Amino acid sequence: SAVISQKPSRDICQRGTSLTIQCQVDSQVTMMFWYRQQPGQSLTLIATANQGSEATYESGFVIDKFPISRPNLTFSTLTVSNMSPEDSSIYLCSVRQTGGEIAEAFFGQGTRLTVV
Amino acid sequence: SQQGEEDPQALSIQEGENATMNCSYKTSINNLQWYRQNSGRGLVHLILIRSNEREKHSGRLRVTLDTSKKSSSLLITASRAADTASYFCATAPTGGFKTIFGAGTRLFVKA
């Protein structure tokens, strides 16, 4: 299993500003994932963050809007840039153990972002 | 959703009744998982079923998987008010490491 800490847990931000969300894992993991959950909706994968390489973004998400860092095997950040009210969502960090049997994904508690 | 649909979108039952939620997905998978989320909080992993398994039990949970129909169901027996939450299926597509989520079912169990 993996324990994931996300910071901040919530924030209220002005439109046009940027927010960086931090994700810390208690063990080394190869792949980390960032999800967005809009109000009342399911989770949508934003990107996969690999250590030592650029993140891989899903359709509809771009690096300029959601830059991601992955400086080591236990830490990642997601920045939500030039925010608008439509970016109000819960953002979740996730990891999966890889190698051998593929197991379940583990999630942080999420960052609840409100853009005003 | 990125992967598939779940039905019903919302379900309201009395305590003690059984709740059944269904999930459909689009691609071939390595495994399928079910998660619970309380009030927009983080996700709690409930159960994982591999693509070569057809049924799995964990406590009051029973999961079935039909890979020919690309569908799964989650049954919660003898429901409790504390089971009130959103339930999501999630798949690990074959050859990949992503976890892709279904649309989710909101379950409300009335005491």
- With CA atoms as reference, report the closest residue to A87 among A4, A2, A3, A21: A21
Query: First CA to last CA across chain A, in angstroms?
Result: 37
CB atoms within 10 A of CB B4: 21
Residues 6+ apart with CB under 8 A from A60: none
For residue B100, give the nearest of A45, A108, A109 by CB distance. Answer: A45
Q: Tell me what the pLDDT averaged over chain B comes to.
A: 91
For residue A104, give the nearest of B42, B45, B104 by CB distance. Answer: B45
Phi, psi of A85 (to 5 degrees): -55, -30
The pLDDT confidence band at residue A98, using thresholds 50, 70 and 90, is low
The pLDDT confidence band at residue A101, using thresholds 50, 70 and 90, is low
CB atoms within 10 A of CB B73: 17
The answer to whether B29 and B93 are in contact (CB under 8 A) is: yes
Q: How far is B5 from chain A (nearest CA, A)?
A: 10
The per-residue pLDDT for range A15-62, each reduced to its tens digit, is 999 999 999 999 988 889 999 999 989 999 999 998 888 899 999 999
The per-residue pLDDT for range A57-91, each reduced to its tens digit, is 999 999 999 999 999 999 999 999 999 999 999 99
B95 touches chain A (CB under 8 A): no
**Mutation target vs A (from B1, B9, B43; most A CBs, 10 A cutoff):** B43
